[in-house]
A and B are shown apart, each in its own frame.
Chain A
Amino acid sequence: MRKTTLGAALALALAFASPAARAAGDTIKVGILAEMSGTFADFGQQITNGARAYMKQHGDTVAGKKIELIIKDTTGPAPDVAKRLAQELVVKDEVDFIAGFGLTPNALAVASIATEAKKPTIVMNAATSVITAKSPYIVRTSFTLAQVTQPMAQWAYQSGVRKVYTVVADYGPGHDAEGTFKKTFTALGGQVVGEARVPLKNPEFSPFVQKVKDARPEAVFVFVPAGELAVGFMKAYRERELAKAGIKLLSTGDVTEDGVIDALGDNAIGVISTHQYSMAHESPENKAFLAAYAQVAPQQRPNFMAVGGYDGMAAVYEVVRKLGGKVDGDQAMGVLKGLKIASPRGPIQIDADTRDIVQNVYVREIKKVGGKLYNVEFDHFPAVKDPGK
């Protein structure tokens, strides 16, 4: 902590010494495109609160520059809106960074603008593998679905499961998850006995779950986006008593993420998932993160998206610090490639080749700790790269 303060002070002094930096204005603007309203408003709130938590903890001045967030609402999966807002951010607000993106379509829509304007663009959540390949100016501080799915398939096989039924949401990330699980699991010698893709707008889950039960697999692997669908699936799983029928529930952490875990209720105890972040992760970094987050949004449990936002801001601060407050697109990318951060989820690194994140993926089980539900980590796969690349 003292070291960073010292570094900041030094950078501050340097910044004042350099006339060029002052001429460029004394704020660094970070334009955040996030889902602040609509059914995915939860995503935007988590991401922006995470970013604010970082600023709360580390102050809003780096290298003599004031860091300013400009938050724009993409309203949901709306690529055209995201693109228009990104143009506004670049042309009107003259931002130095573009960040945010709860959802894949919004991130993809902005890729061409990132390239054209040479703006470092930080994806804080959207999780399809392909995103970082769409522009040399995109990095990701969240995860990819393939990255958390592959360890699930490996862990399932290691723990003796041989027959699995997969259920995924019918959109890009769902197809990534389905493909990765099947590929990894069958390569190891396992068998996928059935596959279902469920629509994104879908209030009634039980027929799909009943079908899984009738197929009698040893486990069902699930990926649906966090929130409504996750809660719906868990309720149906519980109601149909799949656990009693000996069918284990394996999922990515989206289904059991910290923000919805209360809504899942005791139904969820015992569910195994693989993901990069849990509130229950034990480390000083996570403790500091949780404390800062509680100051920003005391009512809410932070989830992996909040951490994506938090680490995204950490990357911004690092770039500003290293460049002495003078942010240039190509130089910023130079700093970001290979960047290492001590994240609340453990050590993370931006892969210099793919600009995607490399991180530990944890195997967790839902348990009740002190009267509340948590994803308790019990195993992990170190430094996992995105297998979708």
Chain B
Amino acid sequence: MHSFLGVLFDGIAYGMLLFLVSVGLSVTLGMMNFINLAHGVFAMAGGYLLVTLTGKAGIGFLAALPIVFVGTAAFSFVVERLLYRPLYRAPHLKQVLLTVGIIFVAVAAATYGWGPQQQPVVVPEAFSGQVPVFGLELSRYRLLLIGVGLAVALALVFGLERTRFGARIRASVDRQSTAEALGIHVGRVFQLTLAIGCGLAGLGGALGVNVLGLDPYFPLKTLVYFLLVVVVGGAGSVPGTLLAALLLGVADTAGKYYLPEAGAFIIYAAMVLLLLLFPSGLLGRRRLA
């Protein structure tokens, strides 16, 4: 029982990390209907930004996180303007080709800039080691992951459902021409949405360095996990993505703990099972058309 609770906690924390890095993809994929396979590039950009800020520039870990969010979001503005915008209405195949190309360019750029080796990250004392809670030894860093994950989930749900900007996104997605007729600048809405999604990816990537590691192949290695979470959760649904990330995180962790021989494959088995049960994702699509 004791070890089970520990595994559950680790799984939830891992799930929160998956949620943080994936939720931006869920937004672009599900809401903007844009196949952004280069999502991991933004997560990697966040990781390298964090490593550079905390390592070379000497900025504190926590202080660096908001800079990473803003920096990655700003980076996505440029990419959106130059590369994504012309292809919003293009067939999905073209979007896939473009974004896969971006991944390879990013891998080469990161290798050139930082070299092929793993990057070091220094986590402050306050977030390293374990803390006893009700007789369980909980990792401090994982508590941080859960905290940030919950905060982001709440902010997103609230932002999408309750704010004017959220209403504009939903309107732009569901009935683009009507939204434009009502005076909503759809292009700008999408640009901002993408920026938020990529900013979150950057934040997730930065928080993930301490667990997943960081090298130039990050976007390729993690792509399958992002897609898993988004597909299982139902693209475009924030609660769905959260639920899927948590389920997969717990399944992966528990699998490795209790069945180490099957270890890393449990997550795929869980995916197959969940997709058989919920073919359109746990919480469906919120897109109408």
Contacts and interface: CB of A to CB of B under 8 A. Distances in A.
Interface in B239-277: 252-257, 260-261, 263-265
Most buried by A among B119, B120, B130, B137: B120
A172 B15 CA distance: 31
A55 to B, nearest CB: 22
- Best-buried of B210, B215, B256 by chain A (most CB within 10 Å): B256
Given A201-B221, A201-B264, A203-B211, A210 B6 contact: yes
B117 A260 contact: yes
A241 B211 contact: no
A203 B212 contact: yes
Nearest to A204: B14
Interface residues of A, number: 36
Nearest to B220: A39
Contacts of B75: none
A227 B260 CA distance: 22
A42 B117 contact: yes
Contact of B260 (A208, A228, A264): A208
What does DSSP make chain B's interface, helix, strand, loop or mixed?
helix
Interface string B1-16: 0010011001000100
User: Interface size bucket, B side?
Assistant: 35 or more
A7 B122 CA distance: 51
Interface string B104-142: 000000010001111111100000111000000101011
A241 B129 contact: yes
Contact of A39 (B139, B210, B217, B254): B217
A228 B209 CA distance: 11
Contacts of B253: 204, 206-207
Interface string B211-233: 11101110001100100000000
Contacts of B139: 206, 239-240
B118 A263 contact: yes
Nearest to B122: A265
Given A207-B253, A239-B139, A265 B217 contact: no
B256 A207 contact: yes
B221 A202 contact: no
A265 B210 contact: no
Contacts of A262: 120
Contact of B257 (A210, A231, A264, A300): A210
A259 B116 CA distance: 11
A365 B115 CA distance: 27
21 contacts: A39-B217, A42-B117, A45-B116, A199-B263, A203-B221, A203-B222, A203-B225, A204-B212, A207-B255, A210-B7, A210-B10, A227-B118, A227-B215, A228-B118, A228-B213, A239-B139, A240-B137, A241-B130, A260-B117, A260-B118, A262-B120
